[in-house]
Amino acid sequence: GILWQQGYFRQVLDGEGWQTELYPFNEPASLPVEPVLGASGQHLRVSLVIGGRTVLLRAWRVSVGRTQLYLLDSNDPFNAPADRGLTSTLYGGDPDVRLMQDVILGIGGWRLVEALDLGIDVCHLNEGHAAFAVLERARHFMARHETSFGEAVWATRPANVFTTHTAVAAGFDVFPREQLEAHRADFDAYVRSLGLSWPELLALGRANPDDPSEPFNMAWLAVRGCGWVNGVSRLHGAVSRTLFSGLFPRWPEAEVPVTHVTNGVHVPSWDSPWTDEAWTRAAGKERWRGDVSALTERVLRLSDEELWRLRALERADLVRYARERLASRLARFSGLDPAIRTASIVLSPDVLTLGFARRFAGYKRPNLLLSDPDRLLRLLTDAQRPVQLIVAGKAHPRDHEGKRLVQQWARFAGRPEARAHVVFLDDYDMTLAKELVQGVDVWINTPRRPWEASGTSGMKVLVNGGLNLSTLDGWWAEAFDAVRGWAVGHRSEGPGDDAREAGQLYSLLEDEVVPAFYERDASGYPRRWMARMRASMASLAPQFSSVRMLQEYVERAYVPGAAACQRRATRASGVARELEAWSTHLKRHWDGLRFGEVTETAENLSLAISARIDLGDIHPASVRVELYADARNEGRPEVHEMTPDEARVDHDIVYSTTIPTGRPPSDYTVRVVPYHPEARIPTELPLIAWRR
């Protein structure tokens, strides 16, 4: 990562509720970082040569438990003043600085890996910002094994993993052709070290490599350099297959090689002291190490009395924290005791508490709950069944729409009739987030489907007994059922209608959420509410933990990728060299492939199909002929391998298969795809030919 001198901003609201930004300097001496020392005992530096000048990057280490986090920064006295500021601000807005930050993270980051001699097997790119690492990893392989760039990519690609978190194309780092051309001289030497021409480098970041007007997309580079690509929820995987479909022309969208690993949260970072005690009694202190599948049964044994007690303690602690934080904010503006006394009477430890906190952006619809202020006010101030709401969140410094949404909430919270029931806490950060997810009874999330890639804030309430009321987007689209929370919208829908979904949100609160919380038995316990709590805690908290998430990455991506990389990377095996020659030959001769006569025989719920194919100069062992049919009823497409007859005429081969099916012959199409036992198709070679 990068050690930002300022990083993201600190939020302050003025007297009108308008967000302003402060950028305090991060002095390394005051942070939990230590310099990484080289063999000489001096601060370890890696360097980049850009436009004839050398930019030095200092290395820092953060020890996070047993994990080492390494950070780079350019604020080195030996650098030119402009270069010292390259790692100053996250999301600074200058496109040239942004390009250089991506170069520092990707190229500089991999150079640090090599300098530390960490023996890395798998390189996992978190979003496309670090995509240049795939080039630098290949460059080091080239130098070490004296190979071509193409062979180096084939050798290293299986052990490169790319996780995208973006649900819209506008979220990718994209650099216009004109911007890159302006920096061409800066990178010429690096491009030559890869053995590439400038057009060949630019082609790696374009959906259509032959379109010189297309901008350079960091996500496209990441996809081309990685053997595994995934989204961060099941729905986001489907959305990402649409976004990346342009890189796999003529492939069905369902077969675009983007899978999903749904995000999870590090549960011990978010559970309250009272929750930790309860889980420890039920499941032991080591419960978040290893297999978490057994936790469900153990947590189901927690009594209603114990669950309700811990919720009361968590809610009371959140109310205490919110009052203190609000008092601190009010004191900044007035310094008067009456204002501070106002903070002491807001909220109540016995009232149903809703929480809403996230980045304020239009697609997240943070003000959907504020669509009808009078209706919301009636809900909050009901004398018999009151509700209270804590809101927090930041807007991007250049997002004026987001700032207006922040201001609307701040002004609503300042209304005299709402003041005791609604609090907007400014400067949303990890500390505030931890208090919120521990103390709220219901976490609300209202993104416009399907633009929330995953969303992890709602996962953090699970361990603490909080419930979710969310749009069926991101992780909640696969987690929701009627016994564990509430949902806005429907799974089968695209983007929802704001007015209709706002009405549904109010109705859920009025007709289901509030009654369930205040419906008590003779002992004073809300039994229906606690049944939801128990079901949510027991089944969802383990499922959406980082334990499960990491296990998926290890088993599905890391171990197979590392094994494939080891097979390919050994120069003596020749696998990478063979794959490079195989792919080059196929790309050169693919357009010479021709389909001939196809015969179809349907009988007794079976279908026999044969097709004559002229492979031209392509060897039959280099391809696979398949019979394809689109999916039905939301299933997977049908793909059946066709086998060649032994007899052939010149280049013509007859391929055939017989399959059991009740579908008509017109549903099926013959196609040819590349085949090599070591290649991942279409991830590494997206060629495909269809019989028209």
Tokens 């910002």 belong to residue: 129
pLDDT at 430 over 90: yes
Residues 293-310: tens digit of each pLDDT: 899 999 999 999 999 999
Q: Provide the strand spans (E) within 65-213.
A: 67-73, 123-126, 160-163, 174-175
Determine contact, residues 617/678, Cβ cutoff 8 Å.
Answer: no
Lookup: tokens for 270 = 């978010």
pLDDT of residue 488: 95
pLDDT of residue 648: 64
pLDDT at 209 over 90: yes
pLDDT at 684 over 90: yes
Highest mean pLDDT among 331-340, 405-414, 489-498, 648-657: 405-414
Q: CA-to-CA distance for 57 and 60, rounded, in angstroms?
A: 10
Q: How confident is the model at residue 493 (pLDDT cuts 50, 70, 90)?
A: low
Q: CA-to-CA distance for 47 and 104, rounded, in angstroms?
A: 9
Q: CA-to-CA distance for 691 and 641, rounded, in angstroms?
A: 15
Determine contact, residues 12/19, Cβ cutoff 8 Å.
Answer: yes
Sign of the C-alpha dihedral computed for residues 305, 306, 310 and 313 taken in this order? positive
Taking all residues of the chain, what is their mean pLDDT, rounded to a whole number? Answer: 93
Q: Which is more confident, 344 or 200? A: 200
pLDDT of residue 389: 98
Tokens 């969140």 belong to residue: 393
pLDDT at 636 over 60: yes
Which amino acid type is present at position 452?
E
Residues 163-189: tens digit of each pLDDT: 999 998 888 999 999 999 998 988 999
Determine contact, residues 156/141, Cβ cutoff 8 Å.
Answer: yes
Q: How confident is the model at residue 65 (pLDDT cuts 50, 70, 90)?
A: confident
pLDDT of residue 335: 55
pLDDT of residue 364: 93
Q: How confident is the model at residue 319 (pLDDT cuts 50, 70, 90)?
A: very high
pLDDT of residue 330: 80
Residues 239-265: tens digit of each pLDDT: 999 999 999 999 999 999 999 999 999
Determine contact, residues 477/284, Cβ cutoff 8 Å.
Answer: no
pLDDT of residue 281: 93
Q: CA-to-CA distance for 36 and 45, rounded, in angstroms?
A: 9
pLDDT of residue 270: 97
Burial class (CB in 10 A: 0-12, 13-18, 19+), 221: buried
Which amino acid type is present at position 437?
V
Burial class (CB in 10 A: 0-12, 13-18, 19+), 520: exposed
pLDDT of residue 649: 60
pLDDT at 92 over 90: no
For residue 191, give Cα distances in angstroms to 135, 195, 202, 326, 669.
10, 7, 10, 54, 42
Pairing of strands 594-603, 606-614: antiparallel
pLDDT at 339 over 70: no
pLDDT at 473 over 60: yes
